[in-house]
Every structure is written in C-alpha cells, then in structure tokens.
Amino acid sequence: MNTADLLAMHDRCPRAAFYGKNWEAHRIHPNEVLRQAVEAGLLTDESDPGQLAGDTVMTLATERELAVEGSQYSCAMHHAALSDLIVTVLRARMPKLGRPEDRGIQSPPWDSGAFLEHSGLRLRRVLMVDRWSREREAAESHSWRSLGEMSIYGMPMTLTVVVIGQRRDGKHHSAWSKGFLHPVNRILRIKKRDNETFGKNWTPCWREEQAWISRDKWIDTMREDRALHESVFDVELEIPTPDMMAKVKRLAESKLRDIRLAKELPDPNISVCDWPTPCEFRDCCWNFREPSERTGFLKRLPSSHRS
C-alpha cells in the first residue's frame, strides 16, 4: 500500500506508519465513516447516490464500532443524514467521479486517494472540515494528499471544501445538520437573514430527526438562507512546476522505501499520540503490544477496495 495517507501517517510518527501499512483499528472514527460514505456516493452509479451514502454509514456503523462516547445509533443516524445531504449537493454540481489508475512509482504501485474528474485532466479532493482558514488551506495544499497526488499524476487539483462544523456530543453543528423551526407554522430556517432575529420560541432541530422535511427542502432552505455557498466551495490548486513535482516524487519514493524496508519497530513520537487527533495505535504503544485481530485491529485493505 503506497498512499498519501501512509506518508501522512509517517510524517506524524514513523511507528504509526510501521503499524498502519498493515493494520487499521476496528473502532472507526465518525469522520472516517463520513469520508468513506461520501466517497461511495461520489463513485456510485446508483440512481440515488445520497441514499447510498447514508446506507453506507449505517452499514459501517453496524460492522464496525464507532469511536464515540454515547449512543452509537444516534451518531450513526446523524452522519447518515449528513452524508446524504453532502452527496446529493455534490452530485448535483458534478458528474460521477472516477479514480486515477494506480501509478507505478514503486512496488506496490501508488494507490490514489484522490478523485479523477470526468475530463480525465484534473484531480479532485473532497474535504469535510469543521472550519476553513488560510492556515488550513496552506496545510492542505502542501499535504501529501494534495501536493503528493499532483506530483505523482502531473495534474492540477480542485479541493471541494465541505464545512460541517465542530462535532460536539456526536453531532456536527452546521447548516448541513442543524436548523430552527418556527413555533407556530413550523417553517424551517437554517440561519438568520439581514436584520432578522429568531425569537426564543424557535425550536432547534436536527436533520436526522425531521423525516417530514424532505432532503430537497432542507437543501433549498440552505440556499435561500445563503448558507449553502459558505458550506461548500471549491479551491483551485495549480499544478506544481516540473522541478517541484520531481522533488516531491523522489521524496515520496524515499519515504515509502523506508517504510517498506523497516524491520525494527521505530521509536514513537509521543508528543503527537493525542494531538491533533488521537492516534489509532496509541493504546498499542502505551501498552507495549502489537496490533492484531485479538487486540481490536483489522488487516488494512488498499484504499481502492474500501468504498
């Protein structure tokens, strides 16, 4: 498995990459569930890709344990509704996406995590983020998932940014998931308009709890309240210079070779075990045990076989 994710893992901690080239935790983070579900919806030929994305969340939540405190079912329903809306909006903006062919930089070849646009001339990434900033844009632009993929394939890339808000108590607080209902006529609103206030009697509501509100109605309300344009947008990344692409490609090959040939367990980088997100191999390191099926891990599949 030669992937941008493996290189990012190695940058964080060589031990994580040593374990991660073969293993992944059975307990799966909701953000990873959301990512896999959205990818499935963007790649499918099904007539209702949003529904398929939501179903994918529920399937993963059934087959794997979600890495959350509190109700597994509530968290799964929330992310199923979220993925349904995201995929429906994205598929209305673009045709079904594909995957670039595996590229032979080494053995095994590069297994892309990016999408290939219908033209075959541009890569695309879809990012679900809690918020977007210049700092986050710089970090994503320079990451293996962007700069690395562009350098391997020699193509420019479009980042499709989906702002899903901070996750608290298993739910993302954003226009995709949360709205307000009028106390009398039950009209749905997503956010305030100019010179407008919501009285204290307006009732907060969550998308997954409002089966009587259609998916299209929720999306139309996001658009009418001018919340849609700030919830999903594109950032264009220009193709690097040939010299830069060659340097990045050589660096990727060198790092992947080190990961593949490593025979001894590397030292851990203990300062990043818990931040910015907990490492999935943290308990292995701190309890001095190897990942295995008995300790709650699964054999890792190539990314192209996941969704």
Q: Which tokens in the block code for residue 282?
A: 């943290």
HEC letters along 35-88:
HHHHHHHHHCCCCCHHHHHHHHHHHHHHHCEECCCCCHHHHHHHHHHHHHHHHH
**Structure pTM?**
0.94
* Distance from the first to the final alpha carbon of the chain: 16
In this predicted model, what pLDDT tens digit does every residue of 71-115 receive, in sequence order? 999 999 999 999 999 999 999 999 889 999 998 777 789 999 999
In this predicted model, what pLDDT tens digit does every residue of 216-231 receive, in sequence order? 999 999 999 999 999 9
DSSP letters for 76-135: HHHHHHHHHHHHHHHHHHSPPPB-PPPB-SSSSPB---SEE-TTSS-EEEEEEES---HH
Q: What pLDDT is attached to residue 303?
A: 58
- How far apart (Å, rounded) are the C-alpha atoms in residues 14 and 245? 24
- pLDDT band at residue 306 using 50, 70 and 90 as cut-offs: very low
In this predicted model, what pLDDT tens digit does every residue of 240-258 receive, in sequence order? 999 999 999 999 999 999 9
- pLDDT band at residue 295 using 50, 70 and 90 as cut-offs: very high
Mean pLDDT of 256-270: 95
Laid out side by side, the sheet with 178-181 consists of 188-189, 178-181, 203-206
pLDDT at 276 over 90: no
pLDDT at 307 over 70: no
- Helix 30-43 to helix 72-93 angle, to the nearest 10 degrees? 30
pLDDT at 170 over 70: yes
Closest-CA residue to 252 (of 1, 2, 17): 2
The larger pLDDT score, comparing residue 19 to residue 108, is at: 19
In this predicted model, what pLDDT tens digit does every residue of 171-230 receive, in sequence order? 999 999 999 999 999 999 998 887 777 778 899 999 999 999 999 999 999 999 999 999
In this predicted model, what pLDDT tens digit does every residue of 23-55 receive, in sequence order? 999 999 999 999 999 999 999 999 999 999 999
pLDDT at 238 over 50: yes
In contact, 86 and 53? CB cutoff 8 Å: yes
Single-letter amino acid code for the residue at 218: W
Q: What pLDDT is attached to residue 199?
A: 79
Task: Identify the burial level of 128 via C-beta atoms within 10 angstroms of its C-beta, where 0-12 means exposed, 13-18 middle and 19 or more buried.
Answer: buried
